[in-house]
Amino acid sequence: MKLLILDRDGVINHDSDQYIKNPDEWRPVPGSLDAIAQLTQSGWRIAVATNQSGISRGLFTMETLNAMHTKMHKAVTQAGGRIDAVFYCPDKADSNSPCRKPNPGMLLSIAERFNTPLNAVPMVGDSLRDLQAASAVGALPILVLSGNGRKTRKKGELPEGTRVFADLAAVARELMN
């Protein structure tokens, strides 16, 4: 099975320092929906792993998060693609929650759900914590420069073996070659 793990904010949709708090604020990064469609049509399974501390901060409810994810699923489906599963962690950064990236809990749950080891499974993110979570489980860390990716690259300290691409569309082109 070809499995790809994606962060959400900054990879699939635009990110915001004020958080994406409702479906109206959820806007896809140009090319991301088509990239997911091309990947799924090429046999890739897509899982999303996203920190969503806005829930524990009281910025939005579970109902609102579900509405954002419904909008994301519909947009991907309309583009001809599919997201097979969405995993999220509602905990704050200071919680040290095992599910919150950079901890690997969400990725381990994905491995269990898809019944597959994550060795060399590509994990695409725009922040250091995404890459650290990937590295912790032996997945292939991929940094995209959309979202916070440029800041992340500039800060350095990327895990060994991290590959860097302009955006999800560029990752999709590489994975399908």
The domain tally of the chain equals 1
Residue spans of beta strands (DSSP E) within the chain? 2-6, 44-51, 85-89, 122-125, 140-144, 163-165
pLDDT of amino acid 163: 98
Residue 94 appears among annotated catalytic residues: no
Residue 7 appears among annotated catalytic residues: yes
CB 137 within 8 A of CB 107: yes
Q: What phi and psi, each to the nearest 5 degrees, are found at residue 172?
A: -60, -45
User: pLDDT tens for residues 35-67?
Assistant: 999 999 999 999 999 999 999 999 999 999 999
pLDDT of amino acid 115: 97
User: pLDDT tens for residues 92-110?
Assistant: 989 999 999 999 999 999 9
Residues 65-91: what's their mean pLDDT? 98
Mean pLDDT of the chain: 97
Strand partners, 4: 46
pTM of the predicted protein model: 0.97
Q: How far apart are CA 20 and CA 71, in angstroms?
A: 13
User: What CATH number did the domain enclosing 113 receive?
Assistant: 3.40.50.1000
Q: Which structural domain, as residue segments, surrounds residue 159?
A: 2-176
Q: Taken in order 94, 108, 69, 142, is the CA torsion positive or negative?
A: positive
